[in-house]
Each structure stands twice: as structure tokens, then as C-alpha cells.
Structure 1
Amino acid sequence: MNSVVLAVVGVAIMTLGYLFYSRYLAQRVYRLDPDYKTPAHTRTDGVDFVPTNKFVLWGHHFTSVAGAAPIVGPAIAVIWGWLPAFIWVTVGTVFFAGMHDLGALWASARNKGQSMGTLSGRYIGARGSRLFLVVIFFLLLMVNAAFAVVISNLLVSTPTAVIPTWGAILVALVVGQAIYRWKMPLWLVSVVGVVCLYALILIGDSNPIVLPETMFGLSANAVWILVLFIYAGIASMLPVWMLLQPRDYINGLQLFIGLGILYGSVLIAAPALVAPAWNADVPAGTPGIVPLLFVTIACGALSGFHGMVASGTSSKQLDKETDARFVGYFGAVGEGLLALGAIIATTAGFQSLTQWREIYHSFNQGGVTAFVEGGSNIMNAGLGLPPSLSATVLATMAVLFAATTMDTGVRLQRFVVQEAGELLGMKLSHVPATFVVLIFGLGLAFSAGADGSGGMVIWPLFGTTNQLLAALTLSVIAVMLLRRGRTIIPIVIPLVFVGVMSLYALVVQLGTFYNAGDWLLLVLDVIILVAALWVLFEAGVAMAKARREGPSPDDDDDVVAESTSSSQHSQHRE
């Protein structure tokens, strides 16, 4: 089949999902209120709580959630064939991810911008909250450490991406000043910022930067990992408007343009899908498609990490509650488009099935390397871009996606450390909390040696942990809706599906880790499994109680806002 069909059908499905299903969720389920005062206004502090233009906030949210995972997951999962990956990405984006991300953003905005971990304490119970924080902490630790490894590998393998990667920070700092201090028009800032980023890509393509094989006794990869963590720690303590938000926004524009270039190349070159729709001849040792498909492709179909971003940073910057539809749901659509692009690049970017099988000779092969190679081949055939420049564009896309996610991940983990400190009776400021995050992240990264590759040690648990976190987030949203007397069907169906698949995958992995004698992963698997089962049980009890007792007034400003809104509507009718 031709890849154009896959691209057109996939984009059409996601577009229809945003136009119709997200409107239903916004109006009938979450009932977004344009007059509701969001935490960005009621708790403005100029650091974390900052009212933000919805397009700028979308850029932050989209690039924060769309890290390397929506590339890596689909680029690995196509080993089972392009059709299962395509179905899960499209259906997952429309009915799972968009609903989940919008719901987490709404839930947090209705509760003073609190994180899902804190909300679990209120809506599920204190015991569930503590265990929820355990799952969140492990997930963020995996993301930060693993993405540091992914970025460092790309900076070493594609040295032409070094200048645009670090130059983007300077561009972001200027963009932040231009928007908030100099009050320049957003369109002008956007155009100039994007032009500067692409100029950096051209400069980087002509001026690769290669670190020495060893520096201070560390490999080039290890040096980049150390630098990345130091940078992310500093960035996490700066006001969001100064670096994080403008960096994510301008990167979001550049990355969306990059996706446009990739999709445009597909339409022009119209390459055939050389990989099978359903791969009946998978390499030996490849696990079964069920349940592994649904945890291998997490970001790009459904991801618990999105709930952490939505409730950790995005909710604190939401100007109007109605902006949550564009920021949350359309942010998920953007990631779905990236995942779809990864599927096309890794199944249509090679000359033959034989060449494809040479890359996918065993499970966990492919990944970012296959995406960059396949995508650059398509861009070369479609637009005539030189292979080196095409590879630089795609590698820069992957690095910037991963880097913005790592920026946000370190900030989110700092929030978790501060929340955990409060539970233990300690109040930690930004600096010591960030220091704790860096100690854990660097400790994991260098746990396997001086090359920094330890960041991938616990990565095999990312998919299952991530999806379990999504199920836990959905359980909190379900309790909130029940306590407001609203339908929970759009939430419960994905909750049950992803909960069952994730728990099933954890059990399967238990056997894998035991047979391999990997006791660290085995112990962590058990801890996560027990914590998730406990929280889901507590959530089930909370949902049963909420259904039994019926709608009841809450002690937050949600009820006040709904009462005020109802009164205003009543007066309007009169």
C-alpha cells in the first residue's frame, strides 16, 4: 500500500476527533467555563503561575509531552506490522490521549493547579496518594535519565545537531523577553524565532561539533549527559516565562514545520510501505503483540506522563478554562501526528522489505535511528533535500522534543520531591528539591558505569509504568466527575482497557526479568505492580462511594464557579 493513504486517513481521523469529539468532551463532560478564574490568575506568582496565551501554552504543552517516546515507541512497535501500530495511534489519540490530557488539565485547574499526585489524596485517599507519588517519581526518574541518554547519543551520532540544539536556548531567552517584557506582537516574535532556529540548523549542518572521545576521564556521551542535567536543573528553577515556556513554544512551531516537511515529502514522493501490514514472521524472541503493543506505544496513543505535564505546569499557565480543549486535546493530536509520521518513516523510508528486515532483525531495534534514516530518505526523495541536511532536521527535531520533555520532567520531579517533603513534615525550597532530583537522575545515569548509559537500566519498565499512571489519572478524573453527577463512560472504557493491558504487561515482564536474572527490574516491577493495584483498588472504592452518595458539594471553588455560572445563565434566560 502507498504511504499517502496512511497519512491522509490518519490525519483525517485525528482532525475529526478534534473537531467533534473534543467539543463533546469540553461541553458535555468537563463543561469548560469561560468565566471560571483559573489558578494562573488566582495564584499568579510570576514563576510557575503565569496567565499565558493559549497558542504559547499549546507550544509548551505539546513539546513537553512529545519527547522522544512518540518516535521511539512506534518505531519499535512496527516490528509487528504497520497496521496494529496505525490503529492504536489513531484510535488512542482520538478516544484515549485527547480525553486524558484534557481531563487532567481540567482537573488540576479546578483544584488550584495541584498535581495528580496531590489530587489523588483528595479524591482517592491518603494511602493512595502516597503510592501514587511513588509511581510518579519512578516514571519521572526514567524519563529524565533515559532522555538524557537519548539526547547525548544523538548529539554524538549527529554532531550537526549540536549548534541548533543549544542555540535554541538563546533564541528562547530572547523570545521570552520579547513576549513578556518588550510586548512585541506574537506573530512577529514567532516568525523571527522560527527563522532563527532554521538558520541555526543550516549553520549546524555546515559546522558539526564533535567532542573529544574523552574529557576529564569521561566519554563524550557522559559529558553531554552531565551538561544536560546541569542545564535542566537550572532551567527548572527559572520562571516559566523566561525559558521553559518560550523554548517550548518556539520549538513547537519549528517541530510542527518539521512535521509538515515530512508529511509534504510523503505526499510528493508517495513511497510504498515496504513493511508488512501484519508481520507474521517476527524475529525470534519477539514478545506477543498483546499486551506489549499497548505499552510499547505509550506516547502517541496514551501516556500517563501527559497527565503530569498537564497538572504540573500547563494548568498553572491556563489563561481561560476553555483554552484547555486546544492546549490539552490538540496537544495530544500533535503528538499523534508525530507518532504517525514515525510509523510512515520507519515502514516506507526504506527501499525494500529485505532492507527493512535487516534493521528490524530483533525486538527493540529501530527506534530514533530508523526514524532519522527512513525519514531523511523520504525527504530526499520528496523535496530533494541533501541526506545530511535531512538527517540534521530530523535529528534536531528528535533532540528538541526530548530536551523540552527533560526540561519539564526535571521541574515536575522537583514538584514531586517538594510534595513528598510536605508529607514528611519538611518544606523544601526550589534549590534543595532540585538538588535531590539531580542526585537521583545522575545517580541512575552513572549507575552502570562512567559512560552514563545507566539511564536506560530501568527503561524497560517505562511503558507499563507510564500506562498505569494514565489509568490512575483517569481514575481520579472519574471520581471527580461522579461527585459532580456527570457521565464517566468516556473515561471508564479507556481506564479499564489500559489498566488491564498495563497490569497484564507488568505480569508478563515479571517472568521475563526472572528468567533473565534481572533482580533490580524484578523488584521494581513488583513495587510498581503492588502500588498500582493498591491505588486502583482505592480508586474503585472511591468511585463506588461517589456513585452511591450521588453528587455532593465540594469544598473547592469549582462549586462556586458552577453556581455562579448557573446563576448567570438563569439571569440571561430571564
Structure 2
Amino acid sequence: MSAVILLLAGLAMMSLGYFIYSKFIAEKIYRLDPDYRTPAHEFEDGVDFVPTNRFVLWGHHFTSVAGAAPIVGPAIAVIWGWAPAFLWVVFGTIFFAGVHDMGAIWASVRNKARSVGSLTGDVVGKRARSIFMIVIFLVLLMVNAVFAVVIAKLMMSFPTAVLPVWGAIGVALIVGQLIYRRILNLVSVSVIGVIALYALIFAGPSMPIQMPAEVAGVSGNAVWIVLLFIYAGVASILPVWMLLQPRDYINGLQLFVGLLILYGAILLLNPTMVAPMFNDAVPAGTPSIIPLLFVTIACGAISGFHGLVASGTTSKQLNKETDARFVGYFGAIGEGCLSLAAILVATAGFASLTDWKAMYSAFGQGGVTAFVEGGAYIIHNGLGLPQVTAATLLTVMAALFAGTTMDTGLRLQRYIFQEFGEIYNQPWMQKPLVATLLAVGSCMLLAFGAGADGSGGMIIWPLFGTTNQLLAGLTLLVITVMLVHMRRPMWYTLAPLCFLLVMTVVALLTQLRTFYQQENYFLLFLDVVVLIAAILVAMECAAALKRHRAIAAAEDGNAS
């Protein structure tokens, strides 16, 4: 099968999803109001609450939710064949992710930009809020600790990417000043920012920066991780317009340029999908495709982390409520396009089926390596770009997305500690600096608690997929209950909610058996905790929906 056919089919279906389905959801279900006064205006403070141009906000939201996950997940899941991954990414983007992300922004905006975890206490109940806050904390802990490891390993493996990865921070600081001090218009700033970023990418191969294997008795990998957390801690306190927004916006533009290069190379080269459509000869030890496909590919289909970003930072910057469709749903489309590219290069970016099987000799292999190597092969042969430059470009793309997600993730974790302070009446915990130190400290404890190399976060990473999808189900639960209370159709959010809960519970049971067989009792314990949370969520879901439907029916009866 030609990769071009899949590319065009995927883009066509996601375009229809945005122009038709998202418009229906925005107008008929969420009923976005252009005259509604958003929290960005109501609580404007120049730090967290900042009314923002929807294109700039889209860049922040999209690159914050994208990270490395929409590359890693699909590039691992193709071990079951390219067809299941392709179908889940396309239809998951249209009917799951877009509805979830836009809905999370809408729900938060309608409740003073409160996070979806805090909002759960009012919409569902205090017990659900407690469960939600635990799940949120676990997800953020995993994301921040693991993405630091991912970026550090990329910089250790590809020293040509170090200059553009860190240089992008300087570009973002300049762009932020140019935009918000109105020195130049957005178009001019965008062009300058993209040119500067790509100049750094092309300069990277000629100016590699190699961290020594050991620095003062500490591994080079650990040094990068510490530096990344110091940076993320500072970034989480700075006003969003100064670094977070412009960094995310420029990275969003960089992604589209990168995708155009990848898609252009695919169109010119017209490579064949060397991987099987359905892989019946998976390596020994590969788990069943159902339900693992639906938790291996989270970002790119639907991800609970998106709800945290949507209700944590994005809702505080929304200029008009109607912007939620462009920022939220189109942000999901952008991530779907990235996942589609990951699928294509991880299945068509190899010379032969034998080469592909060598990459996918065991479950969990592929990932960023398959994306970088497969993509570089396609770009080199399709556009003639030197393979080392193509590999640097794709490595920087992955590292920058992981970095922007880590920036936002740590800020969100700071918000969570502040919300803990509000819930339990601890004023000291509500201070931004204290909350930031707690966020950084908890991540560092996980990262370095299991070893001096800082990769401790990888220990609990196998539970990320299930925990993340449970979080997505919780977010859809909040949105569904709000719709029921407002007497609006609920099936467009209830159906994805039920599907996710079923798949999450089955996946947790599957992993439970695996951890027991491996005698991994730490993960076994955590799996049981998340499984209990999933069951409690399902019970709270049924109770809350029944309660709110009864209230709505009673109010309608009294009105008549």
C-alpha cells in the first residue's frame, strides 16, 4: 500500500471532522457564546490570566498537549500493524480527542477557569474530586519525570540537537517581547521566529554540544535532567506571555513546517508501507491488541493530560468562548496529524520488511528512534536533505515538544499543590514559589529516588497509558454531567466516556496479571490503586448521572 493514499485519506477525514463535526458540537452541544465574558478578562492579572490571540493560544495549547507522546505511542503501536493504529488515531481524533479537549476548555471557562479536578467536587461530588486529584497528581508526576528523561537521552544521543533545543528558549523570550510590547505584528514575528529556530536547527550539526559521560561523579544524563528541572521551575513562575506562550507558539509553527517537510517528502518519494496491515506474527511477549492499543496510543487519539492543560492554563487565556473550538478541537487535529506522520514514517521509512522487523523485535521498541530514523530516511530520499540534518530536525521536533509539555506540566503541578492548599486550608501551600518547589521536589524525588541517573520516572511509566485514559474518562464525566444539568444531549460525550472506562479497566486487569507474573510488586500495588480508582469512577459516574437526570426531570416537571 502506498503511504500517500493513507496520508491523503487521514488528512481528508480529519478535515471533515473539524469543518463539520466540531461545528455541530460547538453550536448544538456546548453552544459556545461569543459574548460570554471569559475568566481571562474577568480575572486578568498579566501572569496567569491573559486574554490571548487565538492563534498564539492554539500554539500554546497544541504544543503543550503534544509532547513526545503522539510520536512515541503510534510509533510503538504499529507493531500490531499499521491499520489499527491509523484507524484509532483518525477516528479517535475526530470523535474523542476533539470533543474532549474543546469540552474541557468550555467546562473550565464556565466555572471561573478552575481545573477539571477542582471542578469535579461541585459537578460530581467530593469523593470523585479526591479520586480525580490523586489521578491528576500521578499523571503529572509521570509526565514531568519521564519527559525530562526523554529529552536528556535525546541530547545525549544527538548532540547536534542541543544547540537548537536550548536556543529555542532565547528565541521564545525575544518573540514574547515582540508580540506583547507590540513592537511587530504577529505575522512578522512569526516569520522571524521560525527563521531563527530553523537557523539553529541547521547550525546544530556543525556545532554539536556533547555532555561528558560523567560530571563531578554524576552521569551526564543526570546533569541534563537537573538542568531541565531548574529551567522548568523558573518557567512555571514567569508570566505566561513572557516564555510559555511564545515558546509554544513558535514550536507550533515549527511543527507545521516539520510536518510539511515530512508530508512533502512522502508525496515526492511515494514510499510503500513495508509493515503489514495487520501483524499476525508479533514478537513473543507482545500483549493483546485489545485493549492495549487504546492505552498505548493516548495522545493522538484521546488523552487525559489534554484536559489538564485545557482547564489549567488554556482556559485562563481564552479571549472569546468561541475560540475554544479552534484552540481545543483544532489542537487535537494538529496532534492527530503528528501521530499520522509518526505512523507513516514508522512503517514506510524502512527499506524492507526485514529492516522493519529488526526495529520491532519486541514490544515497546520503535518509538522516537523509529520516528527519527524512518523520517530521516524518507526526507533524505524524498527531498535530498542530508540524513544527519534530517535526523537533527526530527530530534529537535521531538525534544521541543517534550520540553513544552514539561513546561506546562510543571506549571499545572504547581496549580495542583495550590489547589491542595485551598481544599485543605493551608495558605503556605498556595504561594506560587512554595508550590513550585513542591512540584519540582516531587518530580526530582521520583526521578532520582531509584538511582543516580535520574531515570526513576521510567519505573512507573508502564502505568501512564491506563492512568492517563482514566483521567480522560473523568474529564468526560464532568462534561457529561454538566450537559445533563443544562438539559443538553449527552451521548456525544457519554459514549467516549463508557468506551474509555471499559478499555481502561480491562487494560489494568491485563497489566495486573503481567506485573504479578514478573513479580513486580511495586507496579502491582500501583496498578491495584489505579484499578480501584477506575471502579470508583465508574460508580460515581453512574450515581452522578442518575442524580442529575432526576433533578433535571423534577425541575422540568415543576416548570410544567
> What residue number does 1:558 align with?
none
Secondary structure of the corresponding residue to residue 449 of structure 2: coil
Alpha-carbon distance in 2 for matches of 1:350, 1:112: 50
> What residue number does 1:486 align with?
488
The one-letter code of the counterpart of 2:45 is: D
Alpha-carbon distance in 2 for matches of 1:408, 1:552: 42
8 Å contact from structure 1 (residues 77, 296) kept in 2? yes
After TM superposition, the score normalised by the length of structure 2 is: 0.98
Label 1:552 to 1:159 Cα distance change in 2 as closer, same or farther (>3 A). Answer: farther
8 Å contact from structure 1 (residues 104, 477) kept in 2? yes
8 Å contact from structure 1 (residues 64, 309) kept in 2? yes
Aligned residues between the structures: 553
> Is there any run of 5+ residues in structure 2 with no aligned partner, and where?
556-560
Alpha-carbon distance in 2 for matches of 1:51, 1:346: 39
The one-letter code of the counterpart of 1:493 is: A
Label 1:419 to 1:163 Cα distance change in 2 as closer, same or farther (>3 A). Answer: same
Q: Deviations over 1:22-44 (max 9, x none)?
A: 00000000000000000000010
> What residue number does 2:154 align with?
154
> What residue number does 2:447 align with?
445
Alpha-carbon distance in 1 for matches of 2:298, 2:553: 33
8 Å contact from structure 1 (residues 89, 301) kept in 2? yes
8 Å contact from structure 1 (residues 38, 318) kept in 2? yes
**CA shift at 1:421, angstroms?**
2.0
Residue 64 of structure 2 corresponds to residue 87 of structure 1: no
> What residue number does 1:508 align with?
510
The one-letter code of the counterpart of 1:165 is: V
1:78-477 matched pairs, under 5 angstroms: 78-427=78-427, 428=429, 429-477=431-479
The one-letter code of the counterpart of 1:531 is: A
**CA shift at 1:205, angstroms?**
1.9
8 Å contact from structure 1 (residues 148, 455) kept in 2? no
Secondary structure of the corresponding residue to residue 285 of structure 2: coil
Secondary structure of the corresponding residue to residue 33 of structure 1: coil
> What residue number does 1:536 align with?
538
**CA shift at 1:539, angstroms?**
2.5
Alpha-carbon distance in 2 for matches of 1:84, 1:345: 16
The one-letter code of the counterpart of 1:519 is: Y
> What residue number does 2:521 align with?
519
8 Å contact from structure 1 (residues 65, 305) kept in 2? yes
The one-letter code of the counterpart of 2:441 is: I
8 Å contact from structure 2 (residues 501, 534) kept in 1? no
The one-letter code of the counterpart of 2:262 is: L
Q: Deviations over 1:100-144 (max 9, x none)?
A: 000001000110000010111010111110111000000000000
Alpha-carbon distance in 2 for matches of 1:178, 1:551: 54
The one-letter code of the counterpart of 2:119 is: L
> What residue number does 1:71 align with?
71
Q: Deviations over 1:166-216 (max 9, x none)?
A: 111011111111111234200000000000000111111211100111112
> What residue number does 2:558 align with?
none
**CA shift at 1:536, angstroms?**
2.8
> What residue number does 1:564 align with?
none
The one-letter code of the counterpart of 1:133 is: M
Q: Deviations over 1:476-535 (max 9, x none)?
A: 000000000000111011111111001110111111111111111111111112123213
Alpha-carbon distance in 1 for matches of 2:335, 2:316: 21
Secondary structure of the corresponding residue to residue 446 of structure 1: helix
Alpha-carbon distance in 2 for matches of 1:552, 1:474: 24
The one-letter code of the counterpart of 1:44 is: E
8 Å contact from structure 1 (residues 461, 525) kept in 2? yes
**CA shift at 1:551, angstroms?**
7.2
> What do you get for the CA RMSD once the two structures are aligned?
1.0
**CA shift at 1:552, angstroms?**
9.2
Label 1:36 to 1:219 Cα distance change in 2 as closer, same or farther (>3 A). Answer: same
8 Å contact from structure 1 (residues 475, 536) kept in 2? no
The one-letter code of the counterpart of 1:516 is: Q
Secondary structure of the corresponding residue to residue 290 of structure 1: helix
The one-letter code of the counterpart of 1:286 is: T
The one-letter code of the counterpart of 1:510 is: L
The one-letter code of the counterpart of 1:80 is: W
Residue 558 of structure 2 corresponds to residue 546 of structure 1: no
The one-letter code of the counterpart of 1:257 is: V
**CA shift at 1:423, angstroms?**
2.0
Q: Deviations over 1:325-367 (max 9, x none)?
A: 0000000000000000000010000000001000100000001
8 Å contact from structure 2 (residues 484, 545) kept in 1? yes
Alpha-carbon distance in 2 for matches of 1:446, 1:513: 23
Alpha-carbon distance in 2 for matches of 1:119, 1:256: 34
**CA shift at 1:256, angstroms?**
1.2
Alpha-carbon distance in 1 for matches of 2:538, 2:221: 39
Secondary structure of the corresponding residue to residue 422 of structure 1: helix
**CA shift at 1:417, angstroms?**
1.1
> What residue number does 1:570 align with?
none
The one-letter code of the counterpart of 1:393 is: L
Alpha-carbon distance in 1 for matches of 2:409, 2:389: 30
8 Å contact from structure 1 (residues 44, 51) kept in 2? yes
Identity level (%): 62
**CA shift at 1:223, angstroms?**
0.6
Alpha-carbon distance in 1 for matches of 2:553, 2:328: 26
Alpha-carbon distance in 1 for matches of 2:236, 2:537: 29
8 Å contact from structure 2 (residues 473, 501) kept in 1? yes
The one-letter code of the counterpart of 1:131 is: I
Alpha-carbon distance in 2 for matches of 1:38, 1:184: 27
Label 1:438 to 1:551 Cα distance change in 2 as closer, same or farther (>3 A). Answer: farther
Alpha-carbon distance in 2 for matches of 1:10, 1:447: 43
Alpha-carbon distance in 2 for matches of 1:471, 1:220: 39
> What residue number does 1:567 align with?
none
The one-letter code of the counterpart of 1:27 is: E
8 Å contact from structure 1 (residues 18, 333) kept in 2? yes
Q: Deviations over 1:406-463 (max 9, x none)?
A: 0000000111111112222202201111111111111111122111111211000000
> What residue number does 1:562 align with?
none
After TM superposition, the score normalised by the length of structure 1 is: 0.95
Alpha-carbon distance in 1 for matches of 2:554, 2:394: 51
Alpha-carbon distance in 2 for matches of 1:147, 1:504: 26
Alpha-carbon distance in 1 for matches of 2:136, 2:553: 29
Secondary structure of the corresponding residue to residue 188 of structure 1: helix
Secondary structure of the corresponding residue to residue 550 of structure 1: helix
